[in-house]
Structures are given as C-alpha cells and as structure tokens.
Amino acid sequence: MLTLKPSRTTRCLRGASLALWAALAALTLGWTAAAHADAGHDHGETPPAAAATAQPRFAATSDEFELVGVLQGQHLSLYLDRASDNSPVDGAQITLEVNGAAVPVQAHGPGEYEAALPQPLPEGEHAIAATVVAGAQSDLLAATLDLHGDEAAHAEGASAPAWRKALPWAAGLAAVLAAIALALRATRRKRRTGSTPAAGGAA
C-alpha cells in the first residue's frame, strides 16, 4: 500500500492558508474590540472633572478679588471670590470687556455671574478686563483667555472615524499577506528548478 506524503508546495500552501486565516481572525477581533470600546465611551455622562478641564478658562487676581471665567461656546460663567479668604462675593457690579468690547454681566448666584458673548471667539489669545465694585471696594482685574485649539484637538481625537482606528490592523494584515506571497513565490521557483523532492513511499 502506497502512502503519499504531502509535497513541500502543499505544506507551504497549507501554512500560508493557516497564517491568512489567523491574520483575518486577529483583524476581526481587533475591529470588534475597538467598536465595543467606542460604544462604551458613548454611554454615560462625562465626569465633571474631565468636562471642566476641557473648557477654556481664565483667572485674574488682585489684592482684593479673584475672578475665574469659564467659556462654553458663547456663554461665559464668572466666579468672583475675595482674595483674602476665597469667600464668594455677592451683589458685585462687574464691568467686563473682551478684546476692548463691553459684555453685559448678570448675577446668577452666590459669587456667580454670567455673560453672553455676541459671537463665538476665534482661535487665539483674547484680552479680558473686568472692573469689580463690591460695596466700598473696587478693583481692576486683567487676564488672557487662550483659545489655541487644545480642546478642539481632543474632541477630534475622541470622534475619530472607525476606519482610522483600524489602520494599524490593516497594516498588520498587509504585512502578513506580503510574507505569504513571498513564501509562495519562493516555493514556485524551487519547484521550477526541480529542487522539490518527489513524494512517495512503500507500505
């Protein structure tokens, strides 16, 4: 009875096929894991600390007052405290200027004030000046609001499309396919030159 042994070409083809299926399985698992990770980030509320860090802000301090502004689109939230003990300053009159243009300010709560910008601020540095009058005390505070696109870059990275996140997996698959192609080419060349031994054997 003859027992046929698989030729070297057959073994190479089988190995190449197994490598290809392994690469495809790895690519599929990686894509699925990335999709689940993205879906997980979409659920639930963003922690307040992370949201606050992503919002542009400025801080101005004088001998009497500390003024912090947080920008959300065209809405500017202002927080006014006393420099001596950080207690909120209620009932103050704040005259606010952004790049030399006056912006109306309204009281919102204990030590909290609000201002609405007439239009969104472009990227860059913006001069902030505030005159604060609280009882017998008054002071002029100045600061710079920096909008250089750090938050925009963070948002773009978070909302990157799935195909961009899958590029490393595609590159790995391409490398595996290239290696398989080289192996098959080498096997065919050996077969043409007659270097592949004939298969066969005795029972």
Q: What pLDDT is stored for residue 180 in this prediction?
A: 73
Q: How far apart are the first and last CA of the chain?
A: 5
Q: What is the per-residue pLDDT for 40?
A: 47
CATH 2.60.40 fits 55-148, yes or no: yes
Identify the pLDDT of residue 18: 54
Alpha-carbon distances of 70 from 58, 75, 100, 108, rounded to whole Å = 7, 8, 19, 14
Q: How far from the centroid of its chain's Cα atoms is residue 195's Cα? A: 55
DSSP 174: H
Tell whether pTM > 0.85: no
User: Tell me, what's the pLDDT at 72?
Assistant: 95
> Which residues of the chain are under the pLDDT cut of 70?
1-54, 149-176, 179, 181-183, 186-203
Is residue 41 within 8 Å of 201, Cβ to Cβ?
A: no
Report d(CA 66, CA 84) in Å as an integer. Answer: 9
Give residue 177's pLDDT: 73
* Structural domain spans, the chain: 8-44+160-192, 55-148
Cβ-based neighbours of 5, under 8 Å, separated by 6 or more:
199, 200, 201
